[in-house]
Every structure is written in structure tokens, then in C-alpha cells.
Amino acid sequence: MERFINLLIIDEDDKSQKGLKGILGGGGNNILSVHTFNDAIPILSKKEIGILLINIDCPSFPGFDVFRQIKEISIIKSIYIIVISKDIYSGSRMIKGLHEGAIDFITKPFNPNLIVSKIEVYKALFYKDQRIGQLLSNIFPQNVLDDLNTNGKFSPKRVENGVVLFTDFVNFSQKASKVKPMQLLRKLEHYFTHFDEIIGRYNLEKIKTIGDSYMVLGGVTENNKEPAIRACLAALEIRDFMINEKIVAKAMKQDYWEIRIGIHQGPLVAGIIGTKKFSFDVWGDTVNIASRAEHSAQPNTISITSTIADQIKEYFEINSRGNIDIKKRGGQIEMFFMENLKIEHSFYKEGKLASPEILAMCELSQIDFNHMRKNILNILKASLPDEVAYHDLSHTLNVEKAVARYAKLEGLTEDEMIIIQTAALYHDAGFILTNKDNEEFAANLASIHLPKFGYKEAHIEEIISIIHSTHHNKPKKTLLQKIMCDADHDYFGRADYYSVANRLRTEMANYGTEMSDKEWIEYQLKYLEGKHRFFTETAKNIRLHGKVLRIQELKNELNRLSTTK
């Protein structure tokens, strides 16, 4: 698996910069360089810099206090700072640097083997930090992690209007007894993974799973408005997903699972329990009532309390259930079944997905990226001709993956990520119709489809400009256009170049352009050397070396073919 990291060099000495780039080039290192700390500020505040190398001998070096500023500015707070100096062994100076936040040092003149060894150690630590961060973010809400990182603890907090959503599967114990353990686990993983995707879109927080029960919070760990509406929107998607799963299972004469969902809102106490194995949880009567709402629901229905109903009735169709007993706690609470969104507040007027106005009210993205993605991938899968062996669905997915990689290294915003990933998904859709100048058809397809998924005119214009930029004769002006084109040819510098390129050869043959081995090599060299270039510094850093190797390998093979004939 390829892994990449941004390294930043701060050094006024161009010769020193060049030497470090020569030593550290390749191996997934995206090396950036500036002359002064002030030049580094916009980079640190935008891009995830894993390792920073700074020359403390430069006249512009502002002093060791700058290390603390670096950690404050940096997106990654665990950035590894390495000092560059000629007289690094002058005791007090080195101790001062380490005390202020540096992690290690390298000396001039450079020892390439030692530098590479040190950087590889800190890269491994960086990747480990990233993995730990991902795991912790799956366990704790972000605000809890922020408090733990800042204060070393998370104090219990009372929330007056927290939303609790519970789901569980109908007759789970009975169904589980008929299924092998691994099959049961895979089934639960399938459903819960999909639930995770849904609640993530509505900026809710999964707290835990208890057997087949799935617990979600809203308005407790995040600041988005309208947590009750967001929870109801997520519940609708979960319910409809399970209904679709049931329809498919019945058609295939397979067993199916059904779900119950309950939602309530009220006061909660949130906190962390445990001394060795920490767990974030919430307590209060609100949890008990939400659980009762779920248990009293019928299969594939959503049961809500009057507290929720009062907040959502303007937007959702609801039907009263009357008063429901609350077991253990005692007493009764009026509950309702939530059916669907009202037509006038739904996307496509189907009563399923929220309109842009509802999403804006909830401070959520008005672009329905996930459904857009499923739609275009289904179109490509069903409509691309059999002759398309290279510009096929796998190519689109590979380009989308490469786009995401470049976007992360370049520090794109979330909105920019959505725009460029959408362009990547549509950029070769024109091959449905033609293998010549296909960009125009792809752009037209995007302009027709994207408004249905909440894309505004400005979004669509930018996406179309990115699609058009993939034509080899079109200029690449914006960063997003450059990233798109570099991602489209990312494989030029990868080890799988030949397997991908051979699919292009097959596709060209399918459309009537067959070549001998010699002609095929000459064709590749003409394009790689004469027409293609990488546009972003990121692509040049991580792929140009591999591309140069491919060119030399092709030349060697061409010489071999020429001498054997």
C-alpha cells in the first residue's frame, strides 16, 4: 500500500534545499521548500505537514520560540520538527531546541544514509500517529478528543436538549441462532457500516453498538442546528435502506432482517468512564425513553416522542400512536410514527431525501454527493461499451482515488474535494457515446444530472471546466484542473504502469488502431516524452521519478527489439 507524506524544508540556502531534495526524493515524500518561516506560515495552515526541517543557522531564523508557533499553526499538532545546523553539538543550543519542541537534528555536511534513516523513523511514527488518530476518532467524538489533547481530561457535561436515536433488529436472537458466527458478524458489519455512513452525512455521533442495538446522539458532541430533524432524516434513510434490503432478499428467496427505530430528545449527562479502558457514554431519563420508543416500534417503523414530533411536524408526516407505557421507569409518554418527509420539503418530491432548504437549515451540505456517486457509477457500469477496456469503471475509480490523494496532500477544502471528486467521476462518462473528444458529452451529462443532486450553477460550471481540462489540448489553469489531469495520468509514475497501459492498447485495437510491439512502444514514448507533463509540484515529487524510469525501460525495450531484428 502506497503511503505519502508532506515534508517541508525551511532554509535560505538553495544549495542545501537541493541537497535535501536529492537525498529524500521518492518513497512517497512530497517535499516542499521555502526560504523563511514567514513563507512557511500559509503552507502550515493549509497543508498537513508531517515533518518539518528548519535550518537554525539562517540569518532569518527567528529563534527557538518559533517551534511553538509552528505547532500552533500546523494542521497536524504532532508535527515532527528536525533542526538543521553545522554546529548542532554545541550543547546549550541543542538542548534549547529540543526543549522548545524539536525532535531531532541533522548536521552539515549532509550524511545521506543517516538522514534517510532518521526521516524513515519519523515517517513511521507519523503514519502510526495518523492510524492512532483514526482509531481514536472512531471511539471518541472530536470535541472529547480536543479536550483530552488540550486538558488531559474530559469533564462530565450536562446537555439540556440532546437527541438519542436507537435501532435494533426484530427477532434478532431467533435469527442469530440460525446463522454461523462469522456470517452473523459479517451481516452486522454490513448493516452497521451502512448506518455509520448515513449518520456521518447528518453529522450525528454513533456512541456504541450493544449486540444488535445501535445508539446515536445529536446535539451533544456537535454544533449543527436542528439535531431532531437531522436524526429523523438519518432514521428515514436507515429505514428505507433496510426495506430495500428486504425487497432484494425476498426476490432472491433469502432470509431478511427488519429494524425498529426510536428517537427522543431531552436532558443528558455526557462523560467518560473507566480508568484503563475509556468509554464515552451518556446517561439520563432521555436514554431510557428513547430505548422504550424503539422497543415499542413495529418492524420497519420509526417511533418518536411528542418532544421530537413538536419540532419536526412542519416538515415530516407523522401519525399519533397515543400514550405508551415506559417500562421500569413508570408513567406514559405520547408517541408518534414518523412516516416520510412532506413532499414540499423533499428532494425529487418523493418524501425520502431532504430538500436543499432543509439541509441548509440543518447546516449540512446541500450537495447529495453519495447518491450522485451511486448514480453515475451505475450509469457507467450499465452503459459503457464492451470495447472500452481502459476508460472503464475501474479507471474512473482509480482516478477518483488518485484525486483524493492529491487533494489531501495539496490541502484542499471539503467543498473543493466534493467538486474535484465529482469531476473525476464524470470525466470519462463521454465514452458511453464516443471515444473521440468525449469530454463534451461528459460535460453535458454532468450539467443535466448534477442539479438533481443539489449542485449549484457555480459548482457545475467549475466541474465542467475541470472535465474539459482533461483534453490534452486544453490549458490547465486552476489548481483543481491541474490535480485532475495529474490524477488522470497518475499511473505513469506507478509500478502498475504496464498493466494499465496494456488496457489502453487493447481499447485502441478494439476501435481499429492496432500496433506492433515496436509501434506501441514508440507511441508510448512519443506521448510520455513529447506531450505529457505533470502540473502540480505534488505530482512531480511523487510520480515524476517513476515516469522517468518507465521512459528508460521503454527505451531499453525498444533498443532490444531493434537489435533482435
Asked if 350 and 375 sit in the same domain, the reply is no
> What cell does 343 get?
413532499
Nine cell digits for residue 321: 400512536
| Of the residues 112, 139, 166, the one at which a domain ends | 139
Cα separation, 539 vs 403, in Å, equals 11
CA dist 534 and 485 (Å) reads 8
pLDDT given for residue 89 in this prediction: 57
In sequence order, what DSSP letters do the residues of 95-115 get, joined into one string?
Answer: HHHHHHTEEEEEESSP-HHHH
In the chain, the N- to C-terminal Cα span, in Å, equals 40
Residue 562: its pLDDT value, please?
A: 84
| Phi/psi-derived region of residue 228, left when phi > 0, alpha when psi is between -120 and 50, beta in every other case | alpha
Q: How far apart are CA 87 and CA 76, in angstroms?
A: 29
My answer on whether 346 and 469 are in the same domain is no
Q: What is the pLDDT of residue 372?
A: 94
pLDDT reported for residue 92: 66
Q: How many domains does the chain have?
A: 3
Claim to verify: residue 193 and residue 328 sit in the same structural domain: yes
- Same-domain pairing of 385 and 470: yes
Q: What is the CATH number of the domain that holds 416?
A: 1.10.3210.10
List beta partners, residue 268.
Answer: 159
Task: Give, as one character, the DSSP assignment of residue 79.
Answer: P
- What pTM did the predictor assign? 0.86
Strand order in the sheet with 29-34: 29-34, 5-10, 49-55, 80-85, 102-107
Please name which of 398, 215, 193, 385 lies closest in space to residue 293, comparing C-alpha atoms: 215
| Structural domain contains residue 245 | yes
Tell me: do 162 and 130 sit in the same domain. no
Domain presence at residue 146: no
Q: Which of 300, 327, 361 is the last residue of a domain?
A: 361
* Residue 144, domain member (yes or no): no
CA–CA dist 156, 272 (Å, integer):
7
In a domain, 427, yes or no: yes
Q: In the numeric block, which cell numbers belong to residue 413?
A: 477544502
Write down the pLDDT at residue 152: 67
Long-range contact list for 182-191, CB < 8 A, 24+ apart? 187/257, 188/212, 191/242, 191/257
- One digit per residue, pLDDT tens: the chain, 565 residues? 679 999 999 999 999 999 999 999 988 999 999 999 999 999 999 999 999 999 998 999 998 889 999 989 998 888 999 999 887 655 566 677 777 889 998 988 999 999 999 999 999 999 999 888 888 887 788 878 877 777 767 778 899 999 999 999 999 988 888 888 899 999 999 999 999 999 999 999 999 888 899 999 999 988 889 999 999 999 999 999 999 999 999 999 888 999 999 999 999 998 887 777 778 889 999 999 999 999 999 999 999 999 999 999 999 999 999 988 887 777 889 999 999 999 998 876 777 788 888 999 999 988 889 889 999 999 999 999 999 999 999 999 999 999 999 999 999 999 999 999 999 999 999 999 988 889 999 999 999 999 988 899 999 999 999 999 999 888 899 999 999 999 999 999 999 999 999 999 999 999 999 999 999 999 999 999 999 999 999 999 999 999 999 999 999 999 998 887 6
Closest CA to 41 of 127, 412, 32: 32
**Dihedral, CA atoms, 176, 180, 183, 184, nearest 10 degrees?**
20
CATH number of the domain that 325 lies in?
3.30.70.1230
For the chain, state the CA radius of gyration: 28
Q: Are residues 186 and 224 in the same domain?
A: yes
Cβ–Cβ under 8 Å, residues 485 and 439: no
Q: 201 near 218, Cβ under 8 Å? A: no
Q: Is residue 378 part of a domain?
A: yes
* Cell digits of residue 114: 543517516
| 477 and 553 both lie in a single domain | yes
In DSSP terms, 52 is beta-bridged to 8, 81
**Is 210 in the same domain as 164?**
yes
Contact 305, 333 (CB under 8 A): yes
Q: What is the pLDDT of residue 339?
A: 94
CB 197 within 8 A of CB 370: yes
The C-alpha atoms of residue 282 and residue 270 are separated, in whole angstroms, by 4
pLDDT of residue 325: 83
Domain CATH for 64: 3.40.50.2300
Residue 150 lies in a domain: no
173 lies in the same domain as 246: yes
Domain boundary (336, 361, 386) is at 361
For residue 145, is it within any domain? no
Looking at the structure, do residues 90 and 222 belong to the same domain, yes or no? no
Same domain for 232 and 125, yes or no, is no
Q: What is the 3-state secondary structure (H, E, C) of 340-358?
A: EECHHHEHHHCCCCECHHH
Question: In this structure, are residues 260 and 292 in contact, taking their beta carbons and an 8 Å threshold?
Answer: no
**Three-state SS for 333?**
strand
- Looking at the structure, tell me whether residues 357 and 375 fall in a common domain: no
Q: Which of 241, 167, 173 is nearest to 209 (CA)?
A: 167
Under 8 Å between Cβ of 239 and 301: yes
What number of helices (H) and strands (E) belong to the chain? 21, 13
Q: Report the pLDDT value the prediction gives residue 139, as an integer from 0 to 100.
A: 79
Q: Decide if 106 is inside a domain.
A: yes
Do 64 and 40 form a contact (C-beta atoms < 8 A)? no
State which residues form the domain around 311.
155-361
Which residues lie below 8 Å from residue 322, measured CB to CB, with a gap of 6+? Answer: 334, 335
User: What cell numbers appear for 421 in the block?
Assistant: 471528486
User: Under DSSP, is residue 326 helix (H, G, I), strand (E, B) or coil?
Assistant: coil
